[in-house]
Amino acid sequence: MSGLLHGGENSIWVVVANLAVNELSKGPLPDYKDLNKKYGERFQPQDMDNLHSQPAGLLGPVRLLAQ
């Protein structure tokens, strides 16, 4: 990967994503009435009362090492 580095300043872009379960566990479910009217009831939430957020993203110290 040395072809990716060049003399002078280099930049690294890190994109961190969350899990869908964490978004759903934040609060009440979205209102699906309009979607159900248009497309039929294709999704039935199951066991949503026991939903807990899960660890996601950068879960520890991040180190960049030169080799």
Instruction: Report yes or no on 28 lying in a domain.
Output: yes
Instruction: Report yes or no on 29 lying in a domain.
Output: yes
Instruction: Report yes or no on 27 lying in a domain.
Output: yes
Residue 1 pLDDT: 52
pTM of the model: 0.49
Instruction: Report yes or no on 50 lying in a domain.
Output: no
Residues 6+ apart with CB under 8 A from 32: 43
Instruction: Report yes or no on 55 lying in a domain.
Output: no
Instruction: Report yes or no on 3 lying in a domain.
Output: no
Structural domain boundaries, residue 33: 19-44
> Per the structure, how many domains does the chain have?
1
Q: Average pLDDT of each block of 10 consecutive residues along the chain (67 residues)?
A: 76 86 85 91 82 86 79
Structure-token pair, residue 50: 């026991």
| CA–CA distance, 64 with 46 (Å, rounded to integer) | 42
Residue 67 pLDDT: 66
Instruction: Report yes or no on 25 lying in a domain.
Output: yes
DSSP labels for the chain? -GGG--SS-----------HHHHHHTSSPP--HHHHHHH-------SGGG------S--S-------
